[in-house]
Amino acid sequence: MSPSKSSLTALTLGAIGVVYGDIGTSVLYAFKEVFVSGHVPITTDNILGVLSLFFWTLTIIVTVKYVVLIMRADNAGEGGLMALLALASQSVKDRPQLRGILLMIGVFGVALFFGDGVITPAISVLSAVEGLEVVTPAAKPYVVAISLTVLVVLFAMQRRGTGDIGKFFGPITVLWFLAIATSGVVQIAQNPMVLKAMLPGYALAFISQNYGIAFITLGAVFLAVTGAEALYADMGHFGKQPIRIAWFGLVMPALLLNYFGQGALVLADPKATENPFYLMTPTWALIPMVVLATAATVIASQALITGAFSATKQTIQLGFLPRLSILHTSIKDTGQIYIPTVNWILLAGVIAAVTLFGSSTALAAAYGISVSLVMVITTLLTFYVVHYGWGYRLWLSLTSTAFFVTVDLAFFASNSLKIVQGGWFPLAMALVLYVVMTTWKDGRRLLNQKLRVDSIDLKSFLEAVFVSPPLRVEGTAVFLTAEPGTVPNALLHNLKHNKVLHENNLFVTVHNHEVPWIGMDKRLEIEALGHDCWQVVIHYGFKNDPDLPKALLHIKGRGCELDPMTTSYFLSRDIVIPTIGGGMAQWREKLFSQMHHNASGAAEFLKLPNNSVVELGSKIEI
């Protein structure tokens, strides 16, 4: 069913505020970075060539690759690297070795996304506040302090959620795009010849006449598309149509008008390369533009922080991170969440980036490399979806993939020149996170293997128990178990120490799947084991919000009546003991043991009532 006009307008406005904040604020620094290093001589041909590169980069990467093609690869309506990874792994599920490789590549892409999550707020806010230097050079010593203050306040406000201020994101961002389009039009009107740069010949001529310089320049040009991943990642929130309408109707025209306006200004005054965005703003409008730019960069940062929370939750659901405390900031929108651990780690990284680099120009050296590598990974994963999942012919899939991989690799190669100057920063963060994620995944696998080896068959065990049954007490006991059909340690401890069995007993296993959503009609499976005992399997997608008591309400009328007031939840709190010669290196086993110890409790994660939970501990060697 197509959305109504009013809802489509609201979704389009929301998409402008959330999806396009990052790419929309790139006009603050992208064009400037091409010329600020001094590698590109300021001549008419070079300016037109660079503008042509900007035009065709936005057209090929954002318009053709993301808006037209990749947004078709939705996973039950959801987008983003995690959804694409799940889709690709499902497409090759009959090839376990290939599936394992794709999972590792995809997980590294997710780690790179978090590295980008530190750089984006830092460079965006810094570049906005640097406009004060144009107002008065005396403001230069205070730019870093003001930027840090804005960022600290932004992260400190996350606990309150975005429900109240989120409704202003769309209108403010629309105002931002109208403002940058207007300032661009004013400059283009004074020098309309810059519009010739839309012809691809100018970009090709610039590349052919300046091989080395053009290769270096690609790293700066790429800054114009660093927010392109958000189009795909936020598809589930707004839908394809609103995102596409916003791009073609406002965002792309505004960006191009501003870039071409900056080019027209530099043609007229080569000294304007110091900060062409603010220098083409009239003096009377400078301070309002700085304020508007700061607001726009805060909104862009907010969208990325929110995306980091969502990506973390999905990564936990897929089993690549330990459980973390997740707080809901809205009673209406379950997607609005706050993860304290992620928030403060991101803030620490942002503070380190601002303090270490100190300016948007210095940060530009760190920016782009992680995003360009994510784009390569996205293209590769899309190939497996298109060929294996959708069944397109191999030659067509390979040809389209080869074209986009060539473009992506060209930008990645250019950005890799910046590793020494600062590109190491997001890569180092991504590498650390990748080690953490793979260690947790491998540790969980080893732990489950150990539990399976030591497990007792549940049906056989119950038959033996009921030969001489223990005392039955009123109420229902819910025992959580990692594998269906096995005896949970909590049951063994309960029988050993308390020597009683409840009137009703549920043995519950929670399964997380590589699909975004699993509906309530497929949420629960139940099997009667006799003697008022049942095996229950509960299914969640990686975007579902786990709520075990709510899910168990659906067993009503299926042979077991559950009264929340007389239900107790029995959990086994395992203590992992690293051993020499185990399945992982000793340091990884110690890291896994520490993460396992510090993970948020299953009771909190599954929303179990605090006064009904009984935890029984056990030690397990891996």
Calpha distance 479→144 (Å, rounded): 54
The amino acid present at 494, given as its one-letter code, is: N
The answer as to whether 449 is a domain residue is: no
The answer as to whether 448 is a domain residue is: no
Q: What is the pLDDT of residue 453?
A: 80
Calpha distance 140→281 (Å, rounded): 19
Q: Which residues contact 614 (CB under 8 A, 6 or more apart)?
A: 490, 494, 568, 569, 570, 571
Compute the mean pLDDT over every residue in the chain, rounded to the nearest whole number. 88
Q: Per residue in 428-478, pLDDT tens?
A: 999 999 999 999 999 988 888 887 787 889 999 999 999 888 899 999 999
Q: Is residue 115 domain-shared with residue 176, that is, in the same domain? A: yes
Q: Per residue in 35-87, pLDDT tens?
A: 887 778 899 999 999 999 999 999 999 999 999 988 888 777 778 888 888 88
Q: Say if CB 503 and CB 472 are below 8 A apart.
A: yes
* Token reading at 573: 């709190």
Q: Is residue 275 domain-shared with residue 381, that is, in the same domain? A: yes
Domain total in the chain:
2
Q: pLDDT tier at 578 (50, 70, 90 boundaries)?
A: confident
Q: What is the pLDDT of residue 65?
A: 93
Query: Which contiguous run of DSSP H or E holds residue 314?
Result: helix 286-317
Q: Is residue 485 domain-shared with residue 372, that is, in the same domain? A: no
**Residue 109 structural domain:** 5-442
Tokens 């008419």 correspond to: 44
CATH number of the domain within which 325 lies: 1.20.1740.10
Q: Is residue 394 domain-shared with residue 496, that is, in the same domain? A: no
Q: What is the DSSP pairing of strand 327-328 with strand 337-338? A: antiparallel
Q: Is residue 407 domain-shared with residue 506, that is, in the same domain? A: no
Q: What is the pLDDT of residue 7?
A: 81
Residue 581's region, left for phi above 0, alpha for psi from -120 to 50, else beta, is: left
Q: Is residue 533 domain-shared with residue 430, that is, in the same domain? A: no
Q: Is residue 23 domain-shared with residue 169, that is, in the same domain? A: yes
Distances 58 to 225, 420, 496, 562 between C-alpha atoms, Å: 6, 27, 67, 57
Which one is predicted more confidently, 398 or 578?
A: 398
Q: Is residue 412 domain-shared with residue 470, that is, in the same domain? A: no
Q: How deeply is 379 buried, as exposed, middle or buried, from its count of CB atoms within 10 A (0-12, 13-18, 19+)?
A: buried
The answer as to whether 76 is a domain residue is: yes
Asked if residue 490 has pLDDT above 80, the reply is: yes
Calpha distance 91→121 (Å, rounded): 35
DSSP 599: S
Three-state secondary structure of 540-552:
EECCCCCCHHHHH
Q: Count other Cβ atoms within 10 Å, centred on residue 490.
A: 23
Query: Which stretch of 43-52, 191-200, 259-268, 567-576 has the lowest confidence by average pLDDT?
Result: 567-576
Calpha distance 208→144 (Å, rounded): 40
* Token reading at 128: 């906005």
Decide which of 410, 442, 474 is a domain's last residue. 442
Q: pLDDT tier at 1 (50, 70, 90 boundaries)?
A: very low
Q: Is residue 212 domain-shared with residue 354, that is, in the same domain? A: yes
Q: Is residue 430 domain-shared with residue 462, that is, in the same domain? A: no
Q: Is residue 474 domain-shared with residue 416, that is, in the same domain? A: no
Q: Which pTM value belongs to this model?
A: 0.84
Q: Per residue in 330-379, pLDDT tens?
A: 665 556 778 899 999 999 999 999 999 988 888 888 888 888 999 999 99
Q: Is residue 502 domain-shared with residue 417, that is, in the same domain? A: no
The answer as to whether 447 is a domain residue is: no
The answer as to whether 37 is a domain residue is: yes
Closest CA to 206 of 28, 51, 363: 51
